[in-house]
Chain A
Amino acid sequence: MSTTTDVDLVDYDDAVARFDPVIGIEVHVELGTRTKMFDGAEQFFGEEPNTQITPTSLGLPGALPAVNGTAVEYAIRIGLALNCSIAESCRFARKNYFYPDVPKNFQTSQYDEPIAYDGFVDVELEDGTVFRVEVERAHMEEDAGKNTHVGGATGRIHGAEYSLVDYNRAGVPLVEIVTRPITGAGERAPEVARAYVQTLRDIFRALGVSEARMERGNVRADVNVSLRPTPQSALGTRTETKNVNSFRSVERSVRYEISRQAAILDAGGTIVQETRHWHEDTGITTAGRVKSDAEDYRYFPEPDLVPIVPDRAWIEEIRAALPELPAARRRRLQGEWGYADAEMRDVVNAGAIELIEATVEAGASPAAARKWWMGELARTAKQQEVELADLPITPAQIGALQQLVDAGRINDKLARQVLEGVLAGEGDPEQVVVARGLEVVSDDGPLLEAIDAALAAQPDIAEKIRGGNLGPVGAIIGSVMKATRGQADAGRVRELVLERLQG
């Protein structure tokens, strides 16, 4: 099996001009409960292997599952946030298959009776377009353990001599959210796919049901793609690219599959219904399992767990306690801050909402907060190739900095030097001002000295100003600013120059 590009691809624009892509996305989110779905083993990321295990999470004989009530509440929260109906009654089922990371030889999941169904998510694209994605269902299940394949060249299964299994993750609560086929996105299908996963991630965080960290695999997406000649045609055969774990990869993998499938269809071939693996490094997908009769999970109702019949009053309680969701919050903040649509989109796309909100809370005006985070700091972050939030500066520090400006103690130019000092780890703005001696000179004495020196050095300019020509005042102000290392208030300098020469 090759992991390099060994297939023809159709240019993306050409592919979407001639085919209508249809996508479908399954998102798994690990719930941030203290313990696992069906037993009291603690679950948090990064522990030593096989230290979060109990008889149930190892599937030892005689061990019985017991449902984590908090996980059910989180699942209902997710269902409600995705505008789903919550089942009157639902149950768990066994999905039977043999794989070393599934110690019981079945995964406890929900099959014919998911806890939530028939919802939708409004996804906002980068240009502000809102695209509605319909949710077929959201169901509860458990995560599998983790296999490490040893001996293969790539760490993948192929060529491995043996595998090592860690069951810490086995039994961690999951909610799987399945969309209906997403049609009508056309050439924007890859963008819609990415924005959908990103929107769900934001919702999970807002709901407090998961840390939802992509890089830890808290949120994982399986992406289905098919092509058809026209939007009126029947759905084509789909492929399912498994475990795509970053927003960018979701977009790239959909693009790749569209180009790849278009090439096969152009050559008169047929798409094989199969799972595919995404290769982050090369940006391609390769064939995995062919879906066939061999994949027969023999689902049946889990006899060891009784049905869940969520009390309607409980559901309404959960609904009433739902936090403000990201889209509503964005609209509210945009109104409060008075940002134009395009300004707000830039803020959202830069991931700066929380930073600006905290900066405003720390005493800066919304306009000033935006100016700092989307200007100087955005440039710095880009230079250093880090996220805004990872810069070594806090919203509280930016708030304090802006308050120094507002109080007239520093001007904009000095403020940038203070910022530099804070970023360099020299302390809070106040400390940097003191340590670097950056405060605006507010005492007229030193300013008048500098003005007199500047006028004496440039007598011809002084003469022009005396004669009523105010054009060259700027040159004198410039000299004074230079002499005071930028620490003068330019407006005050101008006043003093005019008093001196014309008073």
Chain B
Amino acid sequence: MSTLSRDEVARVAVLARIDLTPAELDRLAGELDVIVESVARVSEVATPDVPATSHPLPLSNVFRADEPVPPLDRDEVLAQAPAARDGKFLVPQILGEE
């Protein structure tokens, strides 16, 4: 039984800004479904006394002191950008917001 539809893959692709052809969508829907089903099998063996784990490392409270580090050089950074102006990154006009 399929748990992940082609439409869902298409929607996630849009959210992730990945441009997929219809053929790619067909293929990925199948492949991703196998992955999702494999992962879902974990919940079959997990009993209620097994807590969900987001962080497998036995670590917590790893804090950094509030001490400054030297910044990157602005000119060097902006030189890597496709476009810059007035010390700022220049990006294409932002659409679809207002």
Contact = CB atoms under 8 A, between A and B. Distances in A.
Contacts of B65: 69-70
Nearest to B68: A42
Interface string B81-98: 000011111111110011
Interface in A157-195: 157-158, 160-167
Nearest to B85: A164
B8 to A, nearest CB: 11
B57 to A, nearest CB: 6
Interface in B22-55: 54-55
**What is the predominant secondary structure among interface residues of chain B facing chain A?**
loop
Interface residues of B, number: 36
* Max count, chain A CB within 10 A of own CB: residue among B65, B90, B97: B97
B79 to A, nearest CB: 12
* Max count, chain A CB within 10 A of own CB: residue among B57, B62, B65, B89: B89
B69 interface: yes
A49 B88 contact: yes
Given A33-B66, A49-B87, A166-B88, A308 B15 contact: no
B37 to A, nearest CB: 19
Interface stretch (A201-209, A296-304, A352-360, A400-408): A296-304
A288 B63 CA distance: 38
Contacts of B55: 91, 301, 303, 306-307
Contacts of A71: 66
Interface in A10-67: 33-35, 39-42, 48-55, 58, 66-67
B60 A89 contact: yes
A215 to B, nearest CB: 22
A165 B91 CA distance: 7
B74 to A, nearest CB: 5
A67 B67 contact: no
Interface stretch (A146-154, A318-326, A373-381, A460-468): A146-154
B93 A52 contact: no
A288 B85 CA distance: 28
Nearest to A277: B98
Contacts of B87: 48-50, 166
Given A66-B64, A67-B63, A160 B72 contact: no
A99 B93 CA distance: 11
B72 to A, nearest CB: 5
A237 interface: no
Given A42-B71, A148-B88, A161-B93, A69 B60 contact: no
B1 interface: no
A384 B18 CA distance: 58
Contacts of A48: 74, 87
B94 to A, nearest CB: 5
Contact of B59 (A39, A66, A306): A306
A182 B12 CA distance: 35
A71 to B, nearest CB: 7
A306 B60 contact: yes
A290 to B, nearest CB: 11
Please list the 6 inter-chain residue pairs (A to B) with the smallest Cβ-Cβ separation, ordered nearest first: A69-B63, A40-B69, A301-B54, A164-B88, A70-B66, A66-B64
Interface of B: 11-12, 14-15, 17, 54-55, 57, 59-69, 71-72, 74, 77-78, 85-94, 97-98
